[in-house]
Amino acid sequence: MITYIVRRLFQLVIVLIGVTIITFVIMFAIPGDPARQLAGKNATPERIAAIRLQLGLDKPVPVQYFKFVGRLIHGDLGESYQLQRPVTQMIRENAPNTIQLALAAVLIELLGIPLGIYSALRQYTFWDTTLTTAALIIWGIPVFVLGLFMQWFFGLKLNLLPLIGAGDNVLWVIPANYNSFASLILPAVTLGLIEVAYISYMQRAAMLEVIRSDYIRTARAKGLSERKVVMKHAFKNAIIPVMTIAGIDLGALMGGAILTETVFARPGIGLMIYQAIGARDLPVVAGGVLFATLIYVFANLFVDLGYAWVDPRIRLEG
Amino acid sequence: MPDRDTSGKQATEDLTISTVSERDLIEDKLVGRKPLGLWADTWRRLKRNHLAVVGLCIVVVFLAIGMTEEIGNFTPNGYLAPYDPNATNYEISPRGLGSPPSWSHPFGADYLGRDVFSRTLVATRISMLVGVIAVAIALIIGLILGPISGYYGGWVDSVIMRTADVFFAFPYILFVLLIMTVLGPGLWNVFMAIGILSWATYARLNRGSVLSVKAMEYVEAARAQGASDLRIIFRHVLPNTMAPVYVAIAMGIGGAIVTEAALSFLGIGIQPPNASWGKMISDYLSYLAAGSWWMLTFPSVFLTVTVFGFISFGNGLRDATDPKLKE
């Protein structure tokens, strides 16, 4: 297990180096004059010159890169030229709402597991066909279209839940009062529903593969009850691939959160990025993307370690 | 949303080289007909899957609409739709709220009196173009790097695959957004951003298949005959590793279409006056509360149906070519 952890951490370091190089290239190497890009459309020549000096853009490219990484390590992501505020501070303010939304969506997403298993155990029955068809249709709905529909139906038509906003968060990511909880429901269900569809589809496929395997036949032949066969023998093996998929899927969840927040005008990293895109506020967009990428990378690290912990084949291979 | 990649970690496990299943072989023997090839076998399997067939029909219909509009783009009018998609007509948009569907305007008219049906049709062309061209760019890069990586192994493999890891490390749509913020909006930038950021899926998928194929005897036979590495890779190995790639193409086109719609929805994709489903949705958003449902509904439905079509066809194709799922 320790060898595996070391190998995985080594891989993480390489990925982090790669991520910073790509972000650096996008921010500093592609545009004609990075200082001008980072200073914004209406910046004065003095401000551009100041930024050039501050970021060391007169130095050779490798030096610029190491300075960039140095600033990142110190949590310095530059300054929004639109709001003239440090990007790190903006992220700190907006992160709790986004993390809250993502966690709620992950909780909803877990519903896909029992649904997928149920489908697989009743393959080709009416309910299986219905669930699978519904899963494929929902999976195909773009998250912002579903969000608009939810907003229209539950917010506008039925007037049940708040249309927009996030309420106020007293306890970091925990929706501590009714207002905050009520405004979480629609965005979380929007984001979660698409993931439920996806996870249940994948869980069905994984379960179908497992219940056709020899050891399940053996378990049945031993005369075990169907409940025991499913819960004790099939479930554990069918859940493993889905866990990995769910880990990789966090990336889609992050992207979906941006769009969901935009539709529901819900303060968060997504809305922050959206507002920055309109003004082409590059430091904010890059900072937000980098933040989401870090969360994604570390979440996947934990998923992989958990995966290796339950499945010895992973940690022993290669 | 299909813009996710699950292929990576599974690629090495999935030896998805299609073989004709035993049951079918026995059936062939009994009936006395010739055994089927890969495609005929896949088709037979696909036909049994109703969802996949529905998906295929949707894909064909929308590609046909896209193609028609592409031809229309070269006609003197610049479009092949009942009305000019960008022509405003305030007579049919009293109070700036458009007009509901009627015989002359089946999808209604928008707040500027533009025909929603014509706009939706023209937008189909943009979506199909994005899907096809972006995936083509990704495929070209992926199908060069993937086989090279798998065939040579060693440090070449390490460099290419670690680079792929880095591309996978970014949440996809955020990565596209970042690139688009630097490049600026526009159709070609959308092609490039989506295409360049999606190569890793195809490269990984193909590398996995190449690894499993390269140990096979016919590759050894080709080498013994003195075939060059390039010839072996692109002539002997690649064609036999394509089944999972076709699945990824179908899913990838759906993913690219939804990504373009999201970009345009966020205001950084296709620029006016060009119509795009995502742009139409964001433009017409505020008219829903005023009761003008038709503006928003039709582009949303077109987008959803198209993506559903590509996903369910892709899933069906996967089931049909996956030897593990054959009874």
Q: What is the pLDDT of residues B266-293, one digit of tens each?
A: 888 888 777 889 999 988 888 887 777 8
CB B179 within 8 A of CB B193: yes
Q: Which residue from A136, A245, A297 is facing B312, i.e. has the nearest CB?
A: A136
Q: What is the pLDDT of residues A239-257, one digit of tens each?
A: 887 887 888 788 888 888 8
> What does the pLDDT read at residue B263?
92
Structure tokens at B178: 């970042």
Contacts of residue A285 in chain B, CB cutoff 8 Å? 177-178, 181
| Chain A residue nearest residue B269, CA to CA | A277
Query: Does the distance separating the beta carbons of A30 and B177 come in below 8 Å?
Result: no
CB B126 within 8 A of CB B263: no
Buried b / exposed e along A8-43 (16+ C-beta atoms within 10 A): beeebebbbebbbebbbebbbeebeebbbbbbbeeb
CB A198 within 8 A of CB A106: no
Which A positions 60-99 lie with beta carbon below 8 A of chain B? none
- Report the alpha-carbon distance of residue A50 to residue A84 in Å, rounded: 14
| Chain B residue nearest residue A213, CA to CA | B324
Contacts of residue B262 in chain A, CB cutoff 8 Å? 142-144, 255, 259
> What does the pLDDT read at residue B301?
92
Of the residues B7, B162, B182, B205, the best mutation for testing chain A's interface (the one with the most A CB atoms within 10 Å of its CB) is: B182
Q: Which residue from B181, B268, B308 is facing A140, i.e. has the nearest CB?
A: B308
Q: What is the pLDDT of residues A203-248, one digit of tens each?
A: 998 898 888 888 888 888 888 888 888 888 888 888 887 887 888 7
Pick from B178, B137, B204, B163: which is nearest to A254 by CA?
A: B178
- Report the alpha-carbon distance of residue B290 to residue B38 in Å, rounded: 54
Query: Does the distance separating the beta carbons of A144 and B2 come in below 8 Å?
Result: no
- Report the alpha-carbon distance of residue A192 to residue A199 in Å, rounded: 10
Q: Which residue from B3, B51, B184 is facing A252, i.e. has the nearest CB?
A: B3
Count contacts between A and B (CB, < 8 Å): 166
Structure tokens at B267: 């205001």
> What does the pLDDT read at residue A78?
80
Q: Residue A113: is its pLDDT beyond 60?
A: yes
In the structure, what pLDDT confidence band is assigned to residue B327 with cuts at 50, 70 and 90?
very low
Neighbouring residues of A212: CB distance < 8 A, sequence distance ≥ 6: none
Q: Residue A299: is its pLDDT beyond 70?
A: yes
In the structure, what pLDDT confidence band is assigned to residue A33 with cuts at 50, 70 and 90?
low
Contacts of residue B178 in chain A, CB cutoff 8 Å? 23, 26, 285-286, 289
Residue with tokens 């951003």: B193
Neighbouring residues of B77: CB distance < 8 A, sequence distance ≥ 6: B84
Query: Does the distance separating the beta carbons of A144 and B265 come in below 8 Å?
Result: yes
Average pLDDT score over chain B:
82
Structure tokens at B298: 């039709």
Q: What are phi and psi of B12, to 5 degrees?
A: -75, -25
Q: What is the pLDDT of residues B64-94, one digit of tens each?
A: 999 988 888 888 877 777 778 877 777 777 7
Q: Which residue from B8, B10, B308 is facing A137, i.e. has the nearest CB?
A: B308
Q: What is the pLDDT of residues B136-186, one digit of tens each?
A: 999 999 989 998 898 888 899 999 999 998 998 888 889 999 889 888 888
- Report the alpha-carbon distance of residue B200 to residue B186 in Å, rounded: 24
First to last CA, chain B: 30
In the structure, what pLDDT confidence band is assigned to residue A283 with cuts at 50, 70 and 90?
confident
Of the residues B48, B172, B178, the best mutation for testing chain A's interface (the one with the most A CB atoms within 10 Å of its CB) is: B178
The neighbour count for residue B265, using CB atoms within 10 Å, is: 28
Neighbouring residues of B301: CB distance < 8 A, sequence distance ≥ 6: none
Q: Residue B313: is its pLDDT beyond 90?
A: yes
- Report the alpha-carbon distance of residue B146 to residue B157 in Å, rounded: 9
Average pLDDT of the segment spanning B261-268: 90
Average pLDDT of the segment spanning B253-265: 93
> What does the pLDDT read at residue B18?
40
Strands A85-86 and A79-80: antiparallel
